[in-house]
Amino acid sequence: MRDEDVFQRNQRMQLLSKITRTVKFRRLKEKVIESFFFINGSFAVIVLVGIFSLLLIEGFPALQEIGFKEFFLSSNWNPTSPVREAYGILAMVVSTLMVTLGALIIAVPLGIACAAYLADVAGPRTREIVKPVIEILAGIPSVVVGFIGIIVVGPLLSRLFGTSHGLNALNGSLLLAVMALPTIVSISEDAIISVPREFKNASLALGATRWQTLIRVTLPSASSGIIASVMLGMGRAIGETMTVLMATGNAPALPSSFLESVRTMTATIAIELGETVQGGIHYRSLFVIGFVLFIMTFFVNLISDVILEKYQKVNR
């Protein structure tokens, strides 16, 4: 072998090892970067588990002390009584469900009708006006909606029904309906739009009117998405705090009609947490209420999730 060849070979070897080293370093760097992003990605799971466990840890001792049965089945909530403190959340659970039900009775027909209008009837120009309206409505802070509830809806209801004030379950339901509407409209609209064109065309070709097609073909085909939107709206209504805190009157008793003042679970937490002694039973029992809320909304969202996933698969 000539010297020149040896020299060249050496040089080549050197270059090769340099490249290998760079590549190795690069691979390591890429691995590190990927792990960094992965750790960030798992943050959401950590937060969710964190919320779950923190509520449980903070609340569980109270549950032990009070007893499951009393806590969930008694409607007597009187944590500051000088005689005997009572921790029964039944009344506020019923209140929450009642106000939510009322909100859905108002918001579901209205929301689905509006979604059907936007998806199937309205021209592009009308859509361009109405869609931003829905978005802005979704952006109005709950405290502003509650303010309207106190100042406009309350007096209106008291005049309509002849009650001394209008801060009652009906007021809360009306406001929650406004809060839930944007969710219901936008998700239902997506569901209605994504019904395959062929379904509608087949119906129209058979001589059905557009209205008949909408009612008998399009809406039933979109039903799972619509149900999911209702569930999401329900989740929002259950967890909404400020509007009900401001507009429902906050009387902690088992309600018997929509014209009575009620106090929901969210409102109870908002009102009482600031006045409690940290670590005391009262304080801890509010965390249990938070935990119950968390579980309720968790399942409502889970159901809507399962439905949405299913319908996405069907449509694919």
Partner 1 sequence: MKIRKRNVQQWAGFFILRLAALVIVFILVFILYDIISKGHRVISWEFLLEKPRRGMTEGGIWPAIVGTFWVSLVTIVFSVPIGMFTAIYLNEYARQGRIVRLIRLAIRNLSGVPSIVYGLFGFALFTLYLNLGLSIISTGMTLGLLTLPWTITASEEALKTVPMSYREGALALGATKWQTIRSNVLPYAVPGMLTGTILGLARAAGETAPILFTGVAFFWPILPKFPVNLTQQFMALPYHLFIMSTQHHEIVKVRPLAYGTALVLIVLIIFMNTVAVWIRYRFRKKYKRA
d(CA 115, CA 184): 8
Task: Give me the least distance between CB of 84 and partner 1, in Å please.
Answer: 26
Among 209, 216, 280, 310, binds partner 1 (CB under 8 A): 209
Contact status, residue 239 vs residue 293, Cβ threshold 8 Å: yes
Site residues (CB under 8 A) for partner 1, limited to 10-39 = 26, 29-30, 33-34, 36-38
**Under rule CB under 8 A, residue 273 binds partner 1:** yes
Please report, as residue ranges, which positions from 111 to 150 form the binding site for partner 1 (by CB under 8 A): 113-114, 116-118, 121-122, 126, 129-130, 133-137, 139-148, 150
Q: How far apart are CA 254 and CA 147, in angstroms?
A: 25
* Pairing between β-strand 77-78 and β-strand 86-87 as defined by DSSP bridges: antiparallel
Tell whether the torsion through CA atoms of 192, 197, 202 and 207 is positive or negative. positive
CB of 7 to partner 1, least distance (A): 29
Range 243-262, binding partner 1 (CB under 8 A): 245-246
Structure tokens that stand for 253 in this block = 């008793």
Closest separation in Å from C-beta 48 to partner 1: 4
Chain residues 170-189 in contact with partner 1, contact rule CB under 8 A: 178, 181, 185
Instruction: Say how many residues make up the chain.
Output: 316
| CB closer to partner 1 out of 13 and 306 | 306
**Residue closer to partner 1, measured from CB, 226 or 293:** 293
Distance (Å, rounded) from C-alpha 272 to C-alpha 113? 39
> Closest CB to partner 1 among 143 and 202?
143
The residues in 65-104 that bind partner 1, with binding defined as CB under 8 A, are none
Cβ-based burial of 90 (10 A; exposed 0-12, middle 13-18, buried ≥19): middle
